Chain A
Amino acid sequence: GAVVSQHPSRVICKSGTSVKIECRSLDFQATTMFWYRQFPKQSLMLMATSNEGSKATYEQGVEKDKFLINHASLTLSTLTVTSAHPEDSSFYICSAARVAGGRDNEQFFGPGTRLTVL
């Protein structure tokens, strides 16, 4: 159980276009999902927290108009990279929290999406 999927796994786009990445929790409901960005050989950087039915909370330095997040249901969150540029090329990973609060907290991570902007 606790499987998170992402689609697409890889995407190549031209500069100036928009790209949508989907994150789905397949066998559980996730009131909260998270979007991370990972640069080569570096750790994960939390971009935003996505809450079902409300606006996402963005981390400092992350442009909310650039990275649009929509958490439409308890099993789906989408990240849209608008007007993508080569510097947006990265590995984007989502995760979903199954348990709200408590010490036994855990996130379940998706397999990631490799975005390449030409």
Chain B
Amino acid sequence: NAGVTQTPKFQVLKTGQSMTLQCAQDMNHEYMSWYRQDPGMGLRLIHYSVGAGITDQGEVPNGYNVSRSTTEDFPLRLLSAAPSQTSVYFCASSYSIGTPNTEAFFGQGTRLTVV
């Protein structure tokens, strides 16, 4: 089972460049989300989706776009990279979002550096 697959694992961008972080899950999960992890800040929610065509903003959405055209994929787009977006990014998915007891499955993370 692949679970949640994130690509790339590492990326270096120049300020102002754009890129897309890919996330795919093969578990037919309805809920997918993106977090960023910074030292001392834990995981902060960027955007999430409760199903194809439905997305919403999390705690730190500025500078990021998402879309969910299929159940499997949930890409995160950086429109114009800034050094403040240097972070480790995690994609996570859950089978259901309608109950409180569903564990989240995480991808391996993408370490992004913006110079």
| Genuine A/B complex | no
Q: Which residues of A contact B (CB under 8 A)?
A: none
Q: Which residues of B contact A (CB under 8 A)?
A: none
